[in-house]
Each structure stands twice: as structure tokens, then as C-alpha cells.
Amino acid sequence: MFTIRRLMAGDFVLMKAMTTMFGEAFGEVDTYTGNPPRTAYIARLMERDDFIALAAIVDGSVVGGLVAYEFQKFEQERREIYIYDLAVAIAHRRKGIATALIEELRGIAVARSAYVIFVQADRGDEAAISLYTKAGSGSEVLHFDIAVRRD
């Protein structure tokens, strides 16, 4: 059995464990753990109301996680929430953890009067596409990375 916990300021150990779990689940350990941010950076981030980190915990270990950001819209007084990362450790997949994380985020979205939660999935990532299809509707979009100019 697992529990879902919203990580708050001071939950540094759980946040680090979740970051490590993301790296392992995505096969990108160096990206997630090779250049860790300073504690002060994580503290400021976790204190922000628009940063949402949810951890799925089994016997004190983080086995799943979701990180999302809330955006304040300009065209109307409304909010939307973007799921930036969502993963479950390989040994704990197919147990409803990812769905439970999304459901917990839905509750947060309702409490904040958000009108939508959105997420990206890569073509070929059939597990993610299946999960997100069950949770909502999809549309084809293109994603572009724009390099930041550095002088």
C-alpha cells in the first residue's frame, strides 16, 4: 500500500529521493542527480505556492512522484496546472500510483479553481499516452526548445 504526500518546505530528504527516483525511472540519472541545486534553491522553490510536488511513499521510500506548476493566466482570471514530471519506480508500476498522483493533483486543482491540468507525452511513450488518455483528452502539438541567448 502507498500513501500520497504533498511535499512542503523542509521536505528536503523526500524531495531528493523523488529526484533520484525520477532519474532512475526516466533512465536519466545524471540529468536528475549530476548537478543538484543548493538547499537554499530547493527551499525557495518548495515555499512557492505555484510549485506542486507530490510523492508516493511505500514504507518510507519514495516510489512515485509528480511535479507540477500552476500558471496564472492573463486573458482571464483563471489558472491552469502543468504536470512537468510524473514517474513511478519500475518495481511499483501498474499498481495505481500514477493515477492516484493525478487524482491528488485534481483535488489541488479544484481547490485552486484551476480550469485545466495539462501534460506532454512523447510519441512512442505508450505507457504515458495510455495513462493520460484515461485521465483526459489529447491533441497533437509540436514542442520547440528555444535556446537562450548568452552574450
pLDDT on residue 128:
63
Per-residue CA distances from 28 to 32, 33, 139 (Å): 7, 9, 27
Per-residue CA distances from 18 to 7, 12, 38, 139 (Å): 10, 10, 16, 29
Under 8 Å between Cβ of 3 and 56: yes
Domain that holds residue 41: 3-135
Asked if residue 72 is part of any domain, the answer here is yes
CA distance 28 to 106: 27
Asked if residue 140 is part of any domain, the answer here is no
- Side-chain-side CA neighbours of residue 96 (13 Å): 7
Number of domains observed in the structure of the chain = 1
Sequential pLDDT tens for the chain (151 residues):
999 999 998 899 999 999 999 999 999 999 999 999 999 999 999 999 999 999 999 999 999 999 999 999 999 989 999 999 999 999 999 999 999 999 999 999 999 999 999 887 677 766 666 766 677 776 777 676 777 887 7
pLDDT on residue 100:
97
> What's CA 67's distance to the chain center, in Å?
2
Reported pTM: 0.87
**Pairing outcome for strands 51-58 and 61-72:** antiparallel
Residues shown for the chain: 151
CATH number for the domain including 57?
Answer: 3.40.630.30
Asked if residue 33 is part of any domain, the answer here is yes
To which residue does cell 500520497 refer? 4
Asked if residue 15 is part of any domain, the answer here is yes
